[in-house]
Structures are given as C-alpha cells and as structure tokens.
Chain A
C-alpha cells in the first residue's frame, strides 16, 4: 500500500477506529462548541446563527476604480470588504516617488493622502460595512486615514469595524512589505492596537497571518505554530506595555489558509483553537472568554492554483470553501481561478463569491456545527496536529523565540527550505496536482489564451500623480509640516505615535512624508540573507 503523509509530515493510516482515541479525555479536549477550549468552534450554534462573512480581496488602479468594484460586489451580496493596496502604498512611497515607477495602482489601489481614502469609500457607510485593510508596515497611517473618513462620515466610533492586518512580523518572513527594523516596527503595531482599543473598540487592530507564511512554503503545522507564536509575541508586548490582556485580546483576529488536504486543514484549525484558548487562559491569564477565542478568516491559497487548465481552479476553490466551512471560519475569501495569470477579472471575482455562496446555501456544510466531530480520523488527526504544532513551537523557541528567529532570518531560511522540499515533492509526483504532474493533457503546460488579462493602464499613475500634486498645493502646508515635525519628535520618544499620525493625516500630509518622518528616526530594516 502506498505511503501517504499529511503536509505536516506524519503518516496517514488507511483506517482509523476507537483505538486511535484511546486514553483521550474527549470531554476535556473536544468539549462543546462555544465553550473552552473551543475545539468545535467559537460559537455554540455557529452558522445557524450567523453565516461566515464573505470578503473578497479587492483593489486596483485609482481609488475611484476600486470604489466602483466594491459597489459591484456589494450589489451581488458580498457583505464586507478587503482592500488591496498597491506596493508603493504598502511601502510608504508616494505615487510620484521614482521607486514607485511602474507600480502605481498595479497590485492594489494607490493611496497617497486622506483625499484618496475619502474617494475610495465614498458612498460606502463605514458604520455598517466591515472593512479589512491589507496593510502592515504602513498600517498605522492607513488606518488613521480610515478612521478619519469614518469620523467625517459621522459614523459612531463604537460602530466602526475595521481590521487592518498590522502583522509586521509575518512580513519579515513572507510578503516582504517591511520598512523599519524589527523593534520600531513592533512598536507601531502596538501603538495601533492600543489606540484602536481605546477609541474604536469594535475594530480588530491586528490580524495575525499564518496564511502568507504558508504561501511562502511552510507546512500546515508550521503555519499554525508560527501564527500562534506571532500572536503570543504581540500579546506579550501589549501586556508589557501595561494593558490588561482582556482589554485587547478579544479583538485579536487571524488569517489562515485551507488549500491542502481537507481533513488535515480541519484538524489544523480544531487543534489551533484549542492551543490558542489554553495559551490565552493559562499563559496570559485572560479571564474574558472572548479573549480565548481564535477568530479567523480562512481562505485564499492562491499558491494552490495553477496555470494549466485554469478552470480547474474553480473546483479547487470549492474544496477550499468546504474546508473553510468545516473548519469553523468566521470570514471566508477565495482566490480567483485566474490567480496565476493576472489581477482578477470582475467575472472571476464573482465566481469566487458565488462559490462561497453555493457552499453556504446549497451544500449543507453550514447546517450544523463542526459536523466532523467524533470522526475517528478527524479527532485523531486533531490530536496529532496539536502534537506537531507543539513541536514546531518548541523549534521556534530553539531559534531564540519568534522575534529573534525572524530578526536573524532563521525562520525565513526554514520556510525557504520547506518551499524547496515541496517543489521537489511536486516534481517527484509525491504531491499530486491534476493537470500538472498527473492526468496531464497534451499541451496543457501552455498558458490558456482565453483567460482575460487585466489591462494595466499607465494613465492611472498620471491621474494619481496629478491628484497628489493638487492636494499638496491646496493643503495648508504649515499645518502639515508642523504635524510631521511632531511625528518625528515623538518617534524619538516612547509615547504612542497614533495621535501624531492622525494629526498628520488630517493635515493631508502624504503617506511618503509620514513614512519619511518615521524612517529618519527608525532607520531601515536590513534583510538577513542566510544564503
């Protein structure tokens, strides 16, 4: 019989039975949904009371174009937004910066000043729609702009629900939109968490992402372990800053993928919820049950989508949606079938949204809570996954803890090793991929000419640069300069930088200027390359 293994690395038996659960305290480890340790889900009735939020990742071109796509998807039943920013915005470069050449509005929308944010959310009531902002190094100023727009709309602060990603640690490992060195970057993460907890209590000021690290190549167990370790690092930092853990932990959220083997993914989340609940209660002493809950977006997994026979990716997306539903997702997002080709077309995005809706409405996956509970296989896998995640957490400790492992590049090296190993397994056919290494059709390696490619419009940059020049001309320059000076001064100290950032944003200082004011003090991160 063929030897089969999980992505996490342990063997899968052909049959599971009661013996595989012998000696386990089911009442303690599995428990009931909505109760500690939340193995079966964080709510007692899960989707019967509230379906997962559907939140596709959108953003391209100018704020006005993105605004139109937001409204298109909302008209088709999408109930929340997830904003993509272009790379200059993510890295704190203005659209007229020479380094932004060719990148303005390309992989997301361009934001230079508060004026752009006002345009992006024009006509979208921010006290009713929840919005994720996929922004990290620049999370503090971009979220400050978002809050300013919400305030200007007259939204009550306690009704503003936004989730800036604000997870800089994973950016050093995967995705790469770091700017400052690790320590000052962490300070900004903390400043935003603290400020949001105080002023916008329903915002989720950090979304800890195992997702991108998995996309960069790590295993399922490592994805969960690194995510938990990074969350612990942020929580520890906030506690050290003097915050009560229950004052912010209920608003900590997560972002994970589910593209692999369905039952392994489900087990990963069941084990992750259990480990997180225990960590919060036992290690951090949280007393509020909401602090113990691992609330997560599940989805994505673009790395699982391939060029060959792209329509097959729609089918892969449906399995990801099913895995996410069975895993107890609070929010779901799917990659689009044209992922390996282009910025998604409106049609591809609609298919992804419809896939989630079919899963929710037609498949029955949402009918009852944690339907796989009690399966010999899934319960045994959950236990095995818990052990493996614990092992990976210990490996992180041996690297000096998550922050040092990232600062030294040791974690990045491990992830790259796993990515290479995966590629070799793919080449050897050990990881099957239909149309790629098995059931390969004649000529299937060629790209499909029928996939409509996103027509990047160079005029976007011109429009954006002209608008930026106009904002600079029309603003009160003295107020903007004074705010930037205040920001630089405070960056030298230790107080929370958010009030200074909010002031700069409201004075229409540009993102590039705000970034420079901090970079002058913090310096730049130097990437450790263990190669």
Chain B
C-alpha cells in the first residue's frame, strides 16, 4: 500500500503527521509526506502523480471540514475516486458525521492510539 500524508491549509503543527509517517513506515508501508501548507489542489495532484491508495490529512486548526471537502472533490474531478481519504487531528465528535458524509473513510481524532492508526491502515484501509 502507498500512502500520502499531507498537511493541507495553513496549520503548521506537524508533530502528529511526522509521527504517523514514521509509524506507517515501520509497519512496512510506503509513505510520502507533503510537508506543510499544501493547498488541496496540490495534494490531489501529488496523490494522483504518486498513485497512492490512501491520503491522510492532518489538520489541527479546526478547518478540517472545508479542507477535506476540497480534497475529495478534487480527487473525484481527477477520476481518482478510488483513493481513500482519512483525517487526523483535533476533530470534535460533532464533525464526525459531516466528514463521513463527505466520503472520508476514517477519522482519527486527538487521543487515538498510534497502534490503532497503524492497524486501520493494515486492516480495513488495506
């Protein structure tokens, strides 16, 4: 499986994203990391170019709903609907349904154990 871990929007907190990158690599996955402050359009382009199976969006600013929407719309517009999108970060429970309705496959809110994230990538996302 190939994964793109991405930091959309302006949020500069990348500790979580970099920890997940290292954990997934240790679990044997191929992982590309975008670095900070990518636009949804840049992330879609990179996902298509790298031909990834999953895009993981890390967002701690609270702007997860509009950013996830733009990434999912962009993937569809590129005909890359088979790429699954997951979201991690500070996501309050009230937004979980909204993200799922957009087509986000999994959400890993603050406090999710690392092992659970790795397991999801090896399990239902694989």
Contacts and interface: CB of A to CB of B under 8 A. Distances in A.
Given A308-B111, A527-B36, A449 B61 contact: no
A423 B10 contact: no
Contacts of A416: 15, 18-19, 22
Nearest to A454: B62
A456 interface: yes
Contact of B111 (A93, A174, A340): A340
Interface majority SS on A: helix, strand, loop or mixed?
loop
A215 B94 CA distance: 27
Contacts of A453: 92, 94
B98 to A, nearest CB: 13
A215 B60 CA distance: 14
Nearest to B112: A445
Interface residues of A, number: 45
Contact of A175 (B13, B23, B90): B13
Interface in B86-126: 90, 92-94, 109-111, 113-115
Chain B interface size band reads 20 to 34
B28 to A, nearest CB: 16
Nearest to A447: B93
Interface string A98-130: 011111001100000000000000000000000
A175 B35 contact: no
Contacts of A447: 92-93, 109, 111
B12 A176 contact: yes
Given A99-B39, A420-B22, A343 B62 contact: yes
B73 interface: no
Contact of A456 (B21, B62, B67, B115): B62
A427 interface: yes
B63 to A, nearest CB: 4
B37 to A, nearest CB: 7
Contacts of B11: 87, 107, 176
Contacts of A330: none
Contacts of A527: 35-36
A306 to B, nearest CB: 6
B90 A341 contact: yes
Contacts of A454: 62
Nearest to A308: B111
B14 interface: yes
Given A106-B63, A176-B37, A87 B21 contact: no
Contacts of A106: 61-63
Contacts of A99: 10, 39
Interface string B49-67: 0000000000001110011
B74 interface: no
Interface in A514-531: 527, 529, 531
Contacts of A176: 11-14, 36-37
A358 interface: no
A174 B13 CA distance: 7
Contact of A529 (B19, B33, B62): B33
A419 interface: yes
Contacts of A306: 111
A95 to B, nearest CB: 12
Contacts of B39: 99
A303 B19 CA distance: 14
Nearest to B95: A453
Given A176-B37, A308-B111, A341 B92 contact: yes
Contact of B63 (A102, A174, A424, A436): A102
B66 A420 contact: no
Interface string A349-363: 000000000000000
A175 B12 contact: yes
B114 A427 contact: yes
B39 to A, nearest CB: 7
Contacts of A299: none
Given A216-B15, A427-B114, A420 B37 contact: no
Given A177-B12, A447-B109, A107 B61 contact: yes
A29 B35 CA distance: 44
Interface of B: 9-15, 18-19, 21-23, 31, 33, 35-37, 39, 61-63, 66-67, 90, 92-94, 109-111, 113-115
Interface of A: 87-88, 90-91, 93, 99-103, 106-107, 171, 174-177, 215-217, 303, 306-308, 340-343, 416-417, 419-420, 423-424, 427, 436, 445, 447, 449, 453-454, 456, 527, 529, 531
28 contacts: A91-B37, A99-B10, A100-B10, A103-B10, A103-B63, A107-B61, A176-B12, A176-B13, A176-B36, A216-B13, A216-B15, A217-B19, A308-B111, A340-B111, A343-B62, A417-B22, A419-B15, A420-B18, A423-B19, A427-B114, A445-B111, A447-B109, A447-B111, A453-B92, A454-B62, A456-B62, A529-B35, A531-B33
* For the complex of A and B, 6 pairs with smallest distance between CB atoms: A176-B12, A307-B111, A87-B10, A416-B18, A102-B66, A102-B63
Given A103-B10, A420-B19, 15 more contacts: A90-B10, A91-B37, A102-B66, A102-B67, A103-B61, A106-B61, A106-B62, A106-B63, A171-B12, A177-B12, A217-B15, A423-B23, A447-B93, A449-B93, A529-B35
